Structure 1
Amino acid sequence: MVYTVTVLYPNEADAKYDLEYYLSHHLPLVDRLWRKYGLHGWTVVKYGPGVTEDRIPYSFGCVLFYEDDNAAKQAFKGPEAAEVLGDISKFSNKQPLFLLATWLWGQDPRDRALLAKLDVTLLPYFSLIWFLFGVTRSSYSSAYISGMREALGFEGKEYNYMSTAYLVVYAVCQMPGTSLLTVVRPKYVFVTANVTWSVLTLITYKMTRAWQVILLNAIEGGFSAIAYVGAQFILASWYKKSELGMRAAVFCVFGQLGTLSGGWIQAGLLETLAGKGGLPAWKWIFIIVSVMTIPVALFGWVFIPDLPSHRAAWYLTDEQKEHAATRLGSISKKSWDTTVFKRVLLSWQFWLLPFVFMLYSVCVQMLGNNVMAYWLASRGYTVVQQNTYPTVIHATAVVGIVVYAAISDKLQSRWEVSIAIGLTFVIGSAILVSTPSTDAGYFVAFYLLGTTYAPQAVWYSWMADVTGHDLQLRAITTGFMNSFDFAFVTWWPLVFYPVTDAPNFRKGYIASLVTGMLTLPVIGLIAYLEKRDTARGIIGRTRATSLLEEDRVIPRGNEPGKYGSTAITVRNTKDGV
């Protein structure tokens, strides 16, 4: 956690400032008196002339970096504060404005205003949709072991066929779906898909045969395809690299909470709603989820801001719309032309990111397909326990997603946490392959592997980092990441986790160990290529030149040029930090 205090000096006609005194005397005084309170360093920004009168009401400002919010508060409450604040009159005839903010919304006042709105509109919509998606998908597995199998006459591998039918259509529709978002306003795409998805979910409870549910699942897969990859594409269009990981984590966490809730909801229905209205308990969840989806779709119709380039969000000011459209930098490739497919197919991003994500997806198949539930049944656990104990996997997934995303945002680098995830694949799978002699060993393995759901946030953010310069490459790769892994996930359970192998899925555990090990060298290769191409200026968005005219560093200490702790960075800007 990094806590910032922004000190802004007003740009007024009668304002008089001695910036030389400020840099040579005041800031060293601040450092000497407040470093013991956890002050790490600062960045000083001087705003350029010509624009400030209209848009930036400050002449210059300073961002102070503290260890945490308590450290900053203690500095301002301590006896040294009087000397620091009293020194202001020696270089300024105006009192500054103090703004306190955590890393969540950053130190730029314009970013804070924009992100505060996005985080209560854009992010909640996609998070709620993904939550409902998780509830719906978990409902099928819960319903299957809670009465649907017998009621609809599922036999042999028909449950696997149901999942496969869904996944095939889901995978096929993802690349067209994300590509559609670049030519049609996202609001129309998402709301149409949400409403259709809700209707299909409702119809499920009326089905009387297994083949009907299989067919309905396939159709639902087409309209659900945009939920995950489309959300990842939109989030990466609005949030910076340092902001994206945690927002993607929040989005993915809601999916895990939905999956977790599905099991608990179904367990509750078994005890409270069985027989109500003449319906078995497993049917009620489909009715409830369908009803829940409609208000969320209406929320999306009102609050989805489309893409920044559309400048269409009614709740953003004109200045915020312009800031959103430019703050991530310019995209070198925007249009669909004859070079698109050549650019995409010859890029390493299009092949390596989907490949490593596929390895992750097949590795964690032991966390789905009712693998843990079958093992619990074989050990004599009750039906309620079979529904609830596997939900802890999704609780550990929440922890893994948030922690890894926070670390990657802090580092502004994804490869370090990716290596940690890969090692967890190996350790967890190895425990299962060893056939633990106690139940505790299995619980540890399953729950530890739950943390490896983190790539849902971290690796999609990584993909956005390395494709941000090319809109079409990002759109197509976003869809292909899920489509490619589903090309394997659709048949992987049939081979490695067939129902007929329950409860001992040893060959599946071995397959997960192998694929988990393969992620490590691929992660290393992606990290190398990212570093190489970033240095060459090939990847990454181009910052608008009007934002930064001068960036000069005034050293203080023995390591000149080190950001924050050993240098003062003074930026001359037209539009702000």
Structure 2
Amino acid sequence: MPSCKFWPRLRVLPEEQSVHEVYTEPNTHDVVGDETKTKGSDLETTKTVESEEGQLQHGFPYELRDEAGRRWWKFFDEFEYRANSEYKKSRSWYSFLYPNHTTHTKAERTLLYKLDLLVGVYFLMLCWSKSLDTNNYTSAYVSGMKEDLNMKGNDYIYTSTISNVGAIVFQLPFMYLLPRFPAHIILPFMDMGWSWFTFACYRAKSLAELRGYRFILSAFGAAYYPVSQYVLGSWYAPDEISSRVCLFFCGQLLGGVTSGLLQARIYKSLDGVAGMAGWRWMFLIDAVAISIPTAIIGFFVIPGIPSKCYSLFLTDEEIRVARARNKRNQIRDGVDKSMLAPLWSWKIWKKVLFTPAFWVLVVFDTCSWNNMTAFSGGYSLWLKSNPNYSIVQVNNMSVLPACLGFAYVFLCSWGADLTRCKWAFMVFAAIINCVSCAILIKWDVSSGAKWFAFLTTYFSVAPSPCLWSFINDFLRFDPQVKAVTWIAIYSISQSTYAWIPALAWQTVESPRFHTGYVVSLTFGAIYGLWTFVVLFFYKRNEKKHALGNGIILYNSEEGKPVPKYVDTAMEKRGEYYYLKDHIDNYLT
């Protein structure tokens, strides 16, 4: 590996060479451990107490909370056990994008600024590139590809299904790769493969050849969803991540917008140039001008994860802050390869398959995939069925729902972080999506109602950042289990998207798609209701980890007293409890 300072390399901080000592408290269940950290940073010399409920951190404010008389409506308080009152009060409402919870230092705020520019904006670019290439299939279809490749009947949807199968199958190896290899290597390598086969699509001479290219293209694209979410979940706090996943989805929407506009421009300007149809030029330009440069940039800007950082742009202090933030938020982002169990180990699969939350999230993500009317192509095909619109007009007007989708996604994701309440925006979006589907099922409605229905289809996409934030928070405790579970959830749910649309959105039903909208309405209704099931399991999970979130629970009504360590190892300062400064004095 070159030693050039412009070449990404593993960042090793000086204090990582220190030796950690552990002391056991005689005749008790508590363990005290020293963790040597750099003076002057957020990681100063500190000590922790290991109680029966979990680990207590030095310098961490703890809220002592009596559960007696807890009201039923507290069920809807999503962050009831996820954050204590000190954490909730430590930001102003208007600073929700940069809350500066942990250190209240310039370093943390600078870290978030840099992460947004490096990780957030890059994943927006990457998702835009992928979405542009994907949407070009629809744009090309309505711009002459159908006739040039002699596509008939359900060839359109079957080709999409074949493409989806490639993505599903080739996601599975990332269960092994994600916790072992750096993202700045995995993702750009896969993106170069995606770019090459996007380029190859321009020369397809038959439907079979196009299907082969689309299958391999999607196989290389299998990495970008799981890797990007794995990285985002390793850097951002629970009330920051929805806003950042929002950038990811904005890239997806931007692809939908620019695909139609670019296809319209290219069709008008380049159709027939050099003997090539306009739709072929679109694939060629996508690959050379957009996808390949994006892949190269990724190698230099993807930072890895805080515990294994490869960033060229973050300082040592900012890496320390990122690790301190993860410690407070109970996010374990990575472990050494030597500590990882073999992928075929029953221990790993037992943790995944026998956890109720896994199956709850599988249902949740499956409903999310199959209620997305926004990507059905129904709107574009409805426009094409109207003889009053030319091909250029169809391509230009096809971007309207995606343009409005930006507002819908920002509303749900920023609203979720601002209010710390993802479930409310998810339910709201599901209701709007169901109304949209109901109108299109009826079909014989006024022109205004139909336009309203089509222009609100992107509410089926809007709550996705909240969904992925939920999944990241559920899986933050074990990096290997997180990798396996993420891929398993995504593969199972996406596999349903490979065959359900083939049955529900058959091209021969175009442009009405009655079956498709019925299926989307069904999944949308389940999605809205299932949100409360997810909330139940989320709250139950966070209550188990309440101590790690800075909340010491007891219940005076049920005879559950204040834990003994509160008196022996802690002291009250203002409203909150802290570990005593000289904990060694209490090891008797």
Question: What is the TM-score normalised by the length of structure 1?
Answer: 0.76
User: Structure 2 residue aligned with 1:229, among 198, 220, 226?
Assistant: 226
Please name the residue that 2:384 is paired with: 377
Mapping for residues 212-223 of structure 1, pairs under 5 Å: 212-223=209-220
Q: Which moved more, 1:322-331 or 1:450-459?
A: 322-331
Distance 1:495 1:56 in 2: 56
User: Structure 1 residue aligned with 2:137, among 113, 136, 140?
Assistant: 140
- The question of 1:363 aligning with 2:368 is answered no
Q: Once the two structures are superposed, what CA deviation does each residue of 1:95-135 show, in whole Å capped at 9, x if it has no partner?
A: xxxxxx67435362232121122122122222111100011
User: Using a 3 Å threshold, how does the CA distance of structure 1 residues 311 and 361 change in structure 2: closer, same or farther?
Assistant: closer
- The question of 1:345 aligning with 2:350 is answered no
Q: Which moved more, 1:304-313 or 1:195-204?
A: 304-313
User: What 5-or-longer segments of structure 1 have no aligned partner?
Assistant: 1-49, 69-100, 544-548, 555-560, 562-568
Aligned AA (2:341):
W
Mapping for residues 495-510 of structure 1, pairs under 5 Å: 495-510=503-518
Does the 8 A contact of 1:308 with 1:324 survive in 2?
yes
Does the 8 A contact of 1:126 with 1:251 survive in 2?
yes
Distance 2:547 2:477 in 1: 6
Please name the residue that 1:287 is paired with: 284
Aligned AA (1:493):
P
The Cα shift of 1:453 comes to 0.6
Percent same amino acid at aligned positions?
A: 24
Q: Once the two structures are superposed, what CA deviation does each residue of 1:477-497 show, in whole Å capped at 9, x if it has no partner?
A: 322333222212112222111
Q: Which moved more, 1:159-168 or 1:171-180?
A: 171-180
Aligned AA (1:489):
Y
Please name the residue that 1:54 is paired with: 40
Please name the residue that 2:554 is paired with: none
Q: Higher relative contact order by CA 8 Å / sep ≥ 6: 1 or 2?
A: 2
- The question of 1:525 aligning with 2:545 is answered no
Please name the residue that 1:106 is paired with: 100
Q: Once the two structures are superposed, what CA deviation does each residue of 1:208-259 show, in whole Å capped at 9, x if it has no partner?
A: 0110000111111110011122111111111111211101001111111112
Distance 2:43 2:319 in 1: 19
The Cα shift of 1:318 comes to 2.1
Please name the residue that 1:194 is paired with: 191
Aligned AA (2:100):
G
Does the 8 A contact of 2:368 with 2:524 survive in 1?
yes
Aligned AA (1:360):
S
- The question of 1:417 aligning with 2:411 is answered no
User: Structure 2 residue aligned with 1:264, among 257, 261, 266?
Assistant: 261
User: Using a 3 Å threshold, how does the CA distance of structure 1 residues 120 and 418 change in structure 2: closer, same or farther?
Assistant: same
The Cα shift of 1:377 comes to 2.7
Does the 8 A contact of 2:132 with 2:255 survive in 1?
yes
Does the 8 A contact of 2:41 with 2:320 survive in 1?
no
Does the 8 A contact of 2:130 with 2:255 survive in 1?
yes
Please name the residue that 2:299 is paired with: 301
The 3-state SS of whatever aligns with 1:490 is helix
Please name the residue that 1:429 is paired with: 437
User: Structure 2 residue aligned with 1:487, among 486, 495, 509?
Assistant: 495
The 3-state SS of whatever aligns with 2:326 is coil
Question: What is the TM-score normalised by the length of structure 2?
Answer: 0.74
Distance 1:457 1:178 in 2: 22
Q: Which moved more, 1:369-378 or 1:510-519?
A: 369-378
Does the 8 A contact of 1:397 with 1:450 survive in 2?
yes
The 3-state SS of whatever aligns with 1:495 is helix
RMSD of aligned C-alpha atoms? 3.0
Please name the residue that 1:117 is paired with: 114
Mapping for residues 52-201 of structure 1, pairs under 5 Å: 54-55=40-41, 68=94, 103-104=97-98, 106=100, 108-109=104-105, 110-177=107-174, 179-201=176-198
The 3-state SS of whatever aligns with 2:203 is coil
User: Using a 3 Å threshold, how does the CA distance of structure 1 residues 298 and 521 change in structure 2: closer, same or farther?
Assistant: same
Please name the residue that 1:320 is paired with: 318
Distance 1:66 1:488 in 2: 42
The Cα shift of 1:513 comes to 1.7
Please name the residue that 2:564 is paired with: none
Does the 8 A contact of 2:93 with 2:418 survive in 1?
no
The Cα shift of 1:402 comes to 1.2
Distance 1:551 1:125 in 2: 45
- The question of 1:470 aligning with 2:483 is answered no
Q: Which moved more, 1:506-515 or 1:213-222?
A: 506-515
Q: Once the two structures are superposed, what CA deviation does each residue of 1:134-161 show, in whole Å capped at 9, x if it has no partner?
A: 1100101110110111112222222222
The Cα shift of 1:53 comes to 6.0
User: What 5-or-longer segments of structure 2 have no aligned partner?
Assistant: 1-35, 45-58, 60-85, 552-568, 582-588
Distance 2:472 2:91 in 1: 28
The Cα shift of 1:398 comes to 1.4
Distance 2:287 2:260 in 1: 17
The Cα shift of 1:552 comes to 4.6
Distance 1:415 1:102 in 2: 18
Please name the residue that 2:79 is paired with: none
Please name the residue that 1:391 is paired with: 399
Distance 1:515 1:262 in 2: 28
The Cα shift of 1:371 comes to 1.1
Distance 1:216 1:369 in 2: 21
Distance 2:485 2:93 in 1: 38
User: Using a 3 Å threshold, how does the CA distance of structure 1 residues 221 and 540 change in structure 2: closer, same or farther?
Assistant: farther
The Cα shift of 1:404 comes to 0.8
Does the 8 A contact of 2:270 with 2:278 survive in 1?
yes
Distance 2:251 2:580 in 1: 39
The Cα shift of 1:297 comes to 1.7
Q: Which moved more, 1:428-437 or 1:203-212?
A: 428-437
Aligned AA (1:407):
G
The Cα shift of 1:360 comes to 2.1
Distance 2:291 2:165 in 1: 23
The 3-state SS of whatever aligns with 1:121 is helix
Aligned length: 473
Aligned AA (2:313):
Y
Aligned AA (1:299):
I
Does the 8 A contact of 1:534 with 1:540 survive in 2?
no
Distance 2:450 2:251 in 1: 26
User: Using a 3 Å threshold, how does the CA distance of structure 1 residues 56 and 512 change in structure 2: closer, same or farther?
Assistant: closer
The Cα shift of 1:65 comes to 5.9
User: Using a 3 Å threshold, how does the CA distance of structure 1 residues 375 and 180 change in structure 2: closer, same or farther?
Assistant: same
Distance 2:92 2:320 in 1: 31
Does the 8 A contact of 2:443 with 2:512 survive in 1?
no
Does the 8 A contact of 2:184 with 2:298 survive in 1?
yes
Distance 1:237 1:65 in 2: 21
Aligned AA (2:235):
W
